[in-house]
């Protein structure tokens, strides 16, 4: 059995961390461009480590150039 040990965030919590509206997070989910999530029925939760990985993958390296 697989267990998840990272906190699970709501859409509103992800939006707050990203400083966007919850609708933006929902759009990312619908467009399949946002962080990975867990869905149970109509409930969506975002594992914190997946959100952080998604953000790290999008960091621009312009300062390193």
Structure confidence by residue, pLDDT tens digits, 4-60: 789 999 999 999 999 999 999 999 999 999 999 999 999 999 999 999 999 999 887
Say yes or no to pLDDT of 1 above 90. no
pLDDT at 62: 58
Residue 65: CB atoms within 10 A of its CB come to 5
Contact by Cβ (8 Å): 56, 20: no
What Rg, from alpha-carbon coordinates, does the chain have? 13
| pLDDT at position 4 | 78
Residue 64 or residue 44, greater confidence: 44
- Angle, CA of 44, 49 and 54, to the nearest 5°: 80
Per-residue confidence (pLDDT) for residue 61, from 0 to 100: 65
Q: Is the pLDDT of residue 65 over 60?
A: no
Distance CA 30, CA 24 (A): 10
Domain ranges of the chain: 8-64
């Amino acid at each position: 059995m697989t267990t998840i040990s990272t906190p699970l965030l709501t859409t509103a919590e992800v939006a707050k961390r990203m400083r966007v509206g919850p609708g933006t997070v929902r759009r990312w989910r619908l467009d399949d461009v946002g962080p990975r999530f867990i869905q149970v029925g109509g409930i969506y939760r975002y594992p914190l480590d997946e959100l952080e990985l998604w953000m790290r993958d999008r960091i621009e390296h312009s300062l390193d150039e």
